[in-house]
Amino acid sequence: MSPRLAPLKIEARREIPRGLLYATPLLAVALTVVAGFFIFLAMGYDPFLSLYHFFVSPLLSFYGWSELMVKAAPLILIGVGLAVGFRANVWNIGAEGQLTVGAITGGVVALAVWGEEPVWILPVMCLAGIGGGMAYAAIPAFLKTRFGVNEILTSLMLTYVATLFLSTLVYGPLKDPMGFNFPQSRMFGDAALLPLLLEGTRLHLGTGIAVAIAVAGWVMMTFTIVGFQVRVLGQAPQAARFAGFSSTRIVWFCLLLSGGLAGLAGTFEVAGPIGQLIPSISPGYGFTAIIVAFLGRLHPLGIILSGLLMALSYIGGETAQVEVGLPQAVTGVFQGLLLFFLLASDFLVRYRLRFRPTVAAAASSQPAE
Partner 1 sequence: MSTGGSAPRLEVPRLEVRGVSKRFPGVLANDRVDFAVAPGEIHALLGENGAGKSTLVKIIYGVLGPDEGEIFWNGEAVSVADPHAARALGIGMVFQHFSLFEAMTVLENVALGMDRAEDMTALAQRVREISEAYGLPLDPERDVYTLSVGERQRIEIVRCLLQNPKLLIMDEPTSVLTPQEVERLFETLRQLAAEGVSILYISHKLQEIKALCDRATILRGGKVVAACDPKAETAKSMAQMMIGAELKTVTRRSGGALGEARLAVEGLTLASEAVHGTDLKNVSFAVKAGEVFGIAGVAGNGQNELLMALSGERLADHETVVRIDGTAVGRSDAGRRRRLGLCAVPEERNGHAAVPGMSLVENAVLSGHHRMALLSHLFIRAGAAARFAAEIVRAFDVRTPGTGVAAGSLSGGNLQKFVVGREILQKPKVLVVSQPTWGVDAGAAATIHQALADLATEGVAVVVVSQDLDELLAITDRLAVINVGVLSSAMVTAEASVEEIGLLMGGVHGLDGSVPGEEASHVA
Partner 2 sequence: MTPDAIALVLLTVISAATPLLFAALGELVVEKSGVLNLGVEGMMILGAVAAFAVAVTTGSGSLGVLAGAAAGTALAFVFGVLTLTLAANQVATGLALTIFGLGLSSLIGAGYVGIPVSPLAKLAVPGVSDLPLIGPLIFGHDALVYLSIAAVAAVAWFLKKSRAGMILRAVGESDISAHSIGYDVIAVRYRAVLFGGAMAGLGGAFLSLSYTPLWAEGMTAGRGWIALALVVFASWRPWRLLAGAYLFGGVTIAQLYTQGAGGLGIPSQVMSMLPYLATILVLTIIAAGPWKGRLNAPACLGKPFRPST
End-to-end CA distance of the chain: 24
Q: Which is nearer to partner 2, 105 or 155 (CB)?
A: 155
Residue 179 binding partner per list partner 1, partner 2, none, with a CB distance cut-off of 5 to 8 Å that depends on partner kind: none
Contact assessment for residue 144 and residue 251, using Cβ atoms and an 8 Å cutoff: yes
**Residue 344 interface partner, choices partner 1, partner 2, none, CB cut-off 5-8 Å depending on type:** partner 2
Classify the phi-psi angles of 325: left when phi > 0, otherwise alpha if psi is within -120 to 50, otherwise beta. left
18 binds partner 1 (CB under 8 A): no
Decide whether 224 or 328 has the Cβ nearer to partner 1: 224
Contact between 7 and partner 1 (CB under 8 A)? no
363 touches which of partner 2, partner 1, none (CB within 5 to 8 A by kind)? partner 1
Task: Candidates 171, 189, 231, 332: give the one binding partner 1 (CB under 8 A).
Answer: 231
CA angle (284, 290, 296) in 5-degree steps = 125
- 206 dihedral zone (left: phi>0; alpha: psi -120 to 50; beta): alpha
Task: Specify the DSSP element, H or E, that contains 353.
Answer: strand 351-355
Q: What is the smallest separation between the CB atom of 80 and partner 1, expressed in angstroms? A: 18
Site string for partner 1, 191-230 (x = CB under 8 A): --------------------------------xxxx-x--
For the bound state, the minimum distance from the C-beta of residue 306 to partner 1, rounded and expressed in Å, comes to 22
**Chain residues that interact with partner 2, rule: CB under 8 A:** 6, 9-10, 12, 91, 93, 143, 146-150, 152-154, 156-158, 160-161, 164-165, 167-168, 171-172, 287-288, 290-291, 294, 327, 329-337, 339-340, 343-344, 346-347, 350-351
Q: For residues 50 and 324, what is the distance between their CA atoms, to the nearest angstrom? A: 7
Neighbours of 247 (CB within 10 A): 16
Beta bridge partners of 10: 353
Dist CA 149 CA 156 (whole Å): 13
CB closer to partner 1 out of 119 and 360: 360
Q: Which stretch binds partner 1 (CB under 8 A): 2-10, 89-97, 266-274, 306-314?
A: 2-10
Q: What angle do CA 300, 305, 310 make, to 5 degrees?
A: 110
The number of CA neighbours under 13 Å toward the Cβ of 258 is: 39
> Which residues contact partner 1 (rule: CB under 8 A)?
1-4, 6, 11-16, 223-226, 228, 231-232, 235-236, 238-239, 241-244, 246, 352, 356, 359, 362-363, 366-367, 369
